Structure 1
Amino acid sequence: MNLFSLENKKILITGSARGIGFLTAQGLAEYGAEIIINDITQERAEIAALKLRDMGFNAHAAAFDVTDAQAVESAVEHIERDIGAIDVLFNNAGIQRRHPFTEFPLKDWNDIIAVNQTAVFLVSQSVSRRMVQRRAGKIVNICSMQSELGRDTITPYAAAKGAVKMLTRGMCVELARYNIQVNGIAPGYFKTEMTQALVQDPVFTEWLCKRTPAARWGDPRELIGAAVFLSSAASDFVNGHLLFVDGGMLVAV
């Protein structure tokens, strides 16, 4: 019965002041976790942490830019010293930009790679150094259907998420010997702020429902089970794995 308990676990979730990140934070808190909310702005991080505390959960705010190596190292040092050792890291921060490939602005490419790919490397490297010393820890990278599949207008996003898939596997190979599990969650199509334009597009929604065996959009709370599993003792021998939560989309033709 304790396999999925997160009691006394401190979990840092990047980009968790809103959206899927905040819902994940709330879901993990419901299983006993102490949550560290991250956002680039102090105000949003504090507001989100306060919401969790008002629900009766233990939560802290940690504002830092996940693409700034010095800021990341300073923040992780502060968390470990003043809040406690990070037991689980969720690399959730992400952005999206949409343009045809031949017209994709270099700045948008750089921003997507920085937030969706480089930040995973920076935060994981800083946190895992401490986990190696303790010989314990879990890292969960939020990947995507685009870790495997391409789609019009989001080629740089797919490139970044494909890289995060391989980063997950490479980290597993190097860190598993220190009792650190590194896995990924690959959501299918969920109703979120990032996908709002697609949700409101009846042509796309019709296509999605026909393309997905479950015949519907995902509800973000349906990601919580996977998050709890990969954060808990239930996954202690699961490593380098990409868990698709997609209503069966990836396996359908």
Structure 2
Amino acid sequence: MNYLPSFELTDQVVVVTGGGKGIGRAIAIGAAEAGADVAILARTSSDINETAGLVRDKGRKAYPIQTDITSKQEIEEAVSMVYKEAGKINILINNAGMNIRSKASDVTENEWNKIFQTNLQGAFFMSQACAAIMKENGGGKIINVSSVAGHVALRTGVVYAATKAGMIQMTKNLALEWAEDHISVNAIGPWYFRTPLTDQLLENKEYLQDILSRTPMNRVGEMKDLVGAAVFLSSEASDYMTGQTLFVDGGMTIYGF
């Protein structure tokens, strides 16, 4: 008997939202390296086409689809397009997200709506649309990219934190409801990783030192750390996991401050 499960995603079709750059691009490339074909969804055409080229460089098929996930109609059209072109959807990675760093007393209605629509509403309706296809095909996996900010209080903005906490709870509820359809739903909770969105912040030596002082491993995350978690949760190695949030944070949530 062999006990080591496969971490490969050979011939699986993975949908990655926010796949044009940063974490989403890294996950898309990592999924391709694991053997998957990848649909890349984001708003900027040039970004998704660049990611698609990098996926194809790995010998896999890529489906770049310009999509605004704050629109339920665009989500449904994009998912339908992936299904039509690829013939299946095995894995969804809800990575698209945004933040506006406002103090609670300064948050506007527009900021509130924009962050919720992108981070939480978009992830829900993407999950709903992909799950309908997964049910027809015997199951699948959904991975939500949340944040340590959904678990502990940080100075990253109350609205962002609320959406990421909501994503963790949504993960549990969807996992419970869809387990009978053989769809697992898990989440990843990152701390700081170097991306186009964080590079400017981390260039500030005082800010970086504050981050490192909260991180037992005393370093910022590298993309391979996060991609490894995403591939694990996408593969058969995580088949008996659902409703869980895997914190990839260098130990930051040990302290919880």
Give me the TM-score of the superposition, normalised by structure 2: 0.94
1:63-115: CA deviations, max 9, x gaps?
21111111111111121112221100000001111111101222111111010
The 5-angstrom pairing of residues 74-223 of structure 1 reads 74-223=77-226
Deviation at 1:51, TM superposition (A): 2.6
Corresponding residue number in structure 1 for 2:26: 23
Corresponding residue number in structure 2 for 1:4: 7
Residue 4 of structure 1 aligns to a residue in which SS? Answer: coil
Query: How many angstroms apart in 1 are the aligned matches of 2:108 and 2:44?
Result: 26
Mean Cα deviation higher: 202-211 or 234-243: 202-211
1:173-194: CA deviations, max 9, x gaps?
0001111110001111111122
Corresponding residue number in structure 1 for 2:47: 44
Residue 90 of structure 1 aligns to a residue in which SS? Answer: strand
Q: Percent identity?
A: 36
Query: How many angstroms apart in 2 are the aligned matches of 1:53 and 1:133?
Result: 28
Mean Cα deviation higher: 62-71 or 46-55: 46-55
Query: How many angstroms apart in 1 are the aligned matches of 2:112 and 2:203?
Result: 25
Query: How many angstroms apart in 2 are the aligned matches of 1:157 and 1:8?
Result: 35
Give RMSD over aligned pairs: 1.4
Moved over 6 A (4+): none
1:164-219: CA deviations, max 9, x gaps?
00100000000011111100011111111222232012112112212111011111
Residue 200 of structure 2 aligns to a residue in which SS? Answer: helix
Query: How many angstroms apart in 1 are the aligned matches of 2:103 and 2:156?
Result: 5
Aligned partners of 2:63 and 2:82 also within 8 Å: no
Residue 115 of structure 2 aligns to a residue in which SS? Answer: helix
- Uncovered stretches (5+) of structure 2, i.e. residues with no partner: none
Query: How many angstroms apart in 2 are the aligned matches of 1:219 and 1:111?
Result: 28
Give me the TM-score of the superposition, normalised by structure 1: 0.96
Mean Cα deviation higher: 41-50 or 197-206: 41-50
- Uncovered stretches (5+) of structure 1, i.e. residues with no partner: none
Query: How many angstroms apart in 1 are the aligned matches of 2:154 and 2:254?
Result: 16
2:239 to 217, 236, 239: 236
